[in-house]
């Protein structure tokens, strides 16, 4: 497995693979890899001849008040996980490599990014889209893998690729959970033991909402209220949002049908966690 920190070195390798007619699967990450990332790498490994993982904590998607500095990093552990999982190449650039002096071009969209996380993180998706398109232009993947845990991100990337005719197939992969239900996230490491217990309120409350829908409830307001009431029973939890939107357009939906994204963002202490499910 190679680790490259320069764009030119990644290009050399991927161009050689392309010349040989090999397919490339790509997993963009911000590192501190866990089972969730591993499931994306496994999917990429299964579908493609070569697998590239990027590890880059992208400053552009963090607001000044957010956790860019404290975001967990461990390249050594990440490299081992990637090696064990059969990754061919890690791209680990420094910010100066991705954003040269004078950088001023961005990717943005008018829809999809205004609801859910876009409300409390207004610059976030512009940063995500910009870096993902740049990474696609560097890695030139046939397929790229994103987790459903960041469902809005997945919808935004699918839309961006469609709108801008990017020749990469976007593959969404299921949420991976701890045995007790907490969705895997690099940010779970911020939680102290009490907060870790309290964080279970997200998956428990979503389960309740899911059961309500499965028992025939279609009124979004009622499901949102049931989930909200449940989360509010946890004293350490502070709701950012509980919402139901259409998964592909990320627009609010009053009546729950197929492909409704039921999503929550909740502060447990200072840590903001997200979780969701999509109706079948």
Which positions touch ligand PAF (CB under 6 A)?
28-30, 58, 61, 128, 131-132, 150, 153
3-state DSSP assignment of residue 280: coil
CB of 34 to ligand PAF, least distance (A): 11
**What secondary structure letter does DSSP report for 235?**
T
CA angle 95, 110, 31 (to 5 degrees): 30
CB of 177 to ligand PAF, least distance (A): 17
CA angle 251, 256, 261 (to 5 degrees): 50
Choice between 30 and 116, CB closer to ligand PAF: 30
CB of 12 to ligand PAF, least distance (A): 23
CB of 151 to ligand PAF, least distance (A): 11
Choice between 168 and 220, CB closer to ligand PAF: 168
CB of 143 to ligand PAF, least distance (A): 15
**Catalytic residue, candidates 34, 37, 92, 124:** 37
Cα 174 from Cα 176, distance rounded (Å) = 6
* Residue 37 appears among annotated catalytic residues: yes
Cα 126 from Cα 9, distance rounded (Å) = 27
Choice between 38 and 210, CB closer to ligand PAF: 38
Angstrom distances, CA of residue 46 to CA of 34, 43, 275: 18, 5, 26
Choice between 117 and 260, CB closer to ligand PAF: 117
Choice between 43 and 227, CB closer to ligand PAF: 43
Strands 260-268 and 237-246, how do they pair? antiparallel
Cα 83 from Cα 65, distance rounded (Å) = 34
Cα 88 from Cα 98, distance rounded (Å) = 21
Choice between 87 and 198, CB closer to ligand PAF: 87
Q: Where are the alpha helices (DSSP H) in the chain?
A: 7-19, 35-47, 75-84, 95-98, 117-120, 124-139, 151-163, 193-198, 200-214, 220-231
Angstrom distances, CA of residue 16 to CA of 21, 22, 125, 134, 259: 9, 9, 32, 20, 40
CB of 206 to ligand PAF, least distance (A): 20
Residues marked as catalytic: 37
């Amino acid at each position: 497995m190679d680790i490259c920190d320069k764009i030119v070195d990644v290009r050399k390798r991927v161009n050689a693979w392309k010349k040989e007619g090999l397919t490339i699967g790509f997993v963009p990450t911000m590192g501190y890899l866990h089972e969730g990332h591993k499931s994306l790498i496994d999917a990429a490994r299964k579908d493609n001849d070569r697998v590239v993982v990027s590890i880059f904590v992208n400053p552009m998607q963090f607001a000044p008040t957010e956790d860019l500095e404290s975001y967990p990093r461990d390249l050594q552990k990440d490299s081992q996980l990637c090696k064990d999982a059969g990754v061919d190449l890690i791209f680990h650039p420094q910010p100066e490599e991705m954003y040269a002096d004078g950088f001023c071009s961005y990717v943005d969209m008018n829809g999809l990014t205004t609801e859910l996380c876009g409300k409390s993180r207004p610059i976030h998706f512009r940063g995500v889209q910009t870096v993902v398109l740049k990474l696609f232009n560097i890695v030139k993947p046939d397929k790229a893998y994103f987790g459903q845990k960041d469902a809005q991100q997945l919808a935004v990337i699918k839309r961006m690729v469609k709108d801008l005719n990017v020749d990469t197939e976007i593959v969404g992969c299921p949420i991976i959970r701890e045995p007790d239900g907490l969705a895997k996230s690099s940010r779970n490491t911020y939680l102290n033991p009490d907060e870790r217990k309290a964080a279970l309120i997200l998956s428990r409350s979503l389960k309740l909402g899911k059961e309500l829908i499965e028992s025939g409830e279609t009124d979004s307001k009622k499901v949102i209220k049931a989930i909200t009431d449940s989360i509010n029973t946890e004293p350490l939890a502070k709701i950012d949002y509980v919402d139901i939107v259409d998964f592909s357009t990320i627009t609010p939906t009053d009546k729950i049908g197929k492909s409704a994204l039921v999503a929550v963002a909740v502060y447990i202490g200072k840590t903001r966690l997200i979780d969701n499910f999509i109706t079948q």
